[in-house]
Amino acid sequence: MSQLPGLKSPTKQPAAASPSTIPISFPTKPVSTRKLPDLEAALKKVASARSKFHVRKIGILIRWENDETGTENDMVTMESILKPLGVQCNRFVIPNSDKTPAWSLQENLNKLLGQCIRSSLPSLFIFFYAGHGGLHDDALCFTSRHKRILWRSIRGTLESAQSVDSLVILDCCHAAAAARQPNSTTNIHIIAACGVHEIASVRSNTASFTQRLFRAVQKFKNQQNFTTAEWYQQVQVEKPKHAPHAVFETFSGTRAISLSFSDTSRSRLPRSLSGLSQKHVLVKLTLEGQRDAVDSFSKAICSLPPNMKVEICNAFETDASVFFILQMSWEGWVLWTSVVHLDFVGVTLGPDLLPRKAIPPASASGENLPPEDLSFKEA
């Protein structure tokens, strides 16, 4: 297929090295030790990042024909999420009879992305897929009984539209495989239903991931806008006990994507969301340096905005570095991991089960006696 005019070939980036131990629900990132000045500068960049005001918002909603997992209803639900946000929704149901579904999907993508590019307006493109997901050569693909569409070809098309911000929402098994090798020059955010080796919840058994996204959006109904990171935070806070953790990834670093409601009347007054200040994501951060890095790091994080605040649970010195055990919110996780590698430890459900015992003060007996009055006996 010929490339659509206005689309640029994405810059190729080196593949990220895979660590030996991969958290179940999160994409692979290279393990690295950061220098504190570099980290501080990167976090300040994230804190000051602002999103575009998108004048044109176009979405494509995709499923296979005769899918048995309830994706027809998921498509309707996603449409009910996006329309109040001013998104022009385009449904694409892949027919069972289509012998070249990947080709058909690419044609639709090129058509819709072309509208964004030719308008020369700040644009947001939303890609939504609900259905079966699989792994082919360790890469994500969208599957029906006898056909598949490789995610990498879709990603390449989105990356080529460098002037367009893209939000990808994947409600399928193995969805986080789409977030591998995230280096890109195009601003793309991915919200995935589950980890690389996990099975997504389907509507027929429990609440689907799309339904969880819908419920999360309702929490913002009295606000004019919200970011993708805030949306992800709310989805994670209200995660059902046995549902997999959703995964969030950015492809271009620090630039935010904000979603605005079409109704911008004065009745939409911002309100705080319950639970969003809770810090229950436990991570490990490794910095170069020695024990004095603890005080320096503590001072560096004091000026961060509330949604990026962290709590230092503990710190340990190694031969050439100091690693910190931190607690943060899910939104904080999204914002920090856009610029630094964090080892995901787990999600805490409450306070420390083994609170530290207070160290009794040293005895002050005899502290003011002159040296000659102190008697020391040999053992």
pLDDT single digits (tens) 29-55: 444 678 899 999 989 988 888 888 899
In the CATH scheme, what is the code of domain 51-260? 3.40.50.1460
Average pLDDT on 262-287 reads 64
pLDDT at 267: 41
pLDDT at 11: 42
pLDDT at 152: 92
Residue 277 has pLDDT above 60, yes or no: no
Residue 15 has pLDDT above 80, yes or no: no
Give residue limits of the domains in the chain: 21-49+274-351, 51-260
pLDDT band at 352 (very low <50, low <70, confident <90, very high): confident
pLDDT tens digits, one per residue of 186-199: 899 999 999 999 99
With beta carbons less than 8 A apart as the criterion, state whether 104 and 98 touch: yes
pLDDT at 315: 94
As given in the structure block, the two tokens for residue 26 are 């999160």
| Phi, psi for residue 150 in degrees, rounded to 5 | -80, 130
More confident residue, 40 or 19: 40
Q: In sequence order, what are the residues at sequence separation of 6 or more whose Cβ sits closer than 8 angstroms to the Cβ of residue 71?
A: 63, 64, 130, 131, 171
Rounded to whole angstroms, the Cα distance separating 29 from 356 reads: 33
pLDDT at 2: 44
Rounded to whole angstroms, the Cα distance separating 230 from 67 reads: 31
Q: Considering just the CA atoms, what is the radius of gyration of the chain in Å?
A: 25
Which of 3-17, 272-286, 291-305 tops mean pLDDT? 291-305
Mean pLDDT rounded to a whole number for the chain: 83
Extract the runs of DSSP E, i.e. beta strands, from the chain.
56-64, 88-94, 123-130, 132-136, 139-143, 148-150, 164-171, 188-192, 225-227, 247-250, 258-260, 281-288, 310-317, 321-328, 343-347
Rounded to whole angstroms, the Cα distance separating 210 from 214 reads: 6
Residue 17 sits at the vertex; the CA angle it makes with 16 and 20, to the nearest 5 degrees, is: 140
Rounded to whole angstroms, the Cα distance separating 201 from 235 reads: 14
| Phi, psi for residue 261 in degrees, rounded to 5 | -75, 145
Residue 138 has pLDDT above 80, yes or no: yes
pLDDT at 360: 61
pLDDT at 181: 66
pLDDT band at 27 (very low <50, low <70, confident <90, very high): very low
pLDDT tens digits, one per residue of 52-106: 889 999 999 999 998 888 899 999 999 999 999 999 999 999 998 999 999 999 9
With beta carbons less than 8 A apart as the criterion, state whether 104 and 110 touch: no
pLDDT at 253: 66
Average pLDDT on 321-334 reads 92
pLDDT at 369: 52
Residue 283 has pLDDT above 50, yes or no: yes
Closest by Cα among 97, 133, 90 to 115: 90
Rounded to whole angstroms, the Cα distance separating 137 from 253 reads: 27
pLDDT tens digits, one per residue of 230-261: 999 999 988 888 899 999 998 876 788 999 99
Rounded to whole angstroms, the Cα distance separating 283 from 240 reads: 21
pLDDT at 106: 95
Rounded to whole angstroms, the Cα distance separating 161 from 111 reads: 12
| Phi, psi for residue 249 in degrees, rounded to 5 | -145, 145
Residue 362 has pLDDT above 80, yes or no: no
Percent of the chain having pLDDT more than 70?
A: 80
Q: Is the pTM of this model over 0.85?
A: no
Residue 374 has pLDDT above 50, yes or no: no
Edge-first strand order for the sheet with 123-130 is: 88-94, 56-64, 123-130, 164-171, 188-192, 247-250
pLDDT band at 165 (very low <50, low <70, confident <90, very high): very high
Percent of the chain having pLDDT more than 90?
A: 55
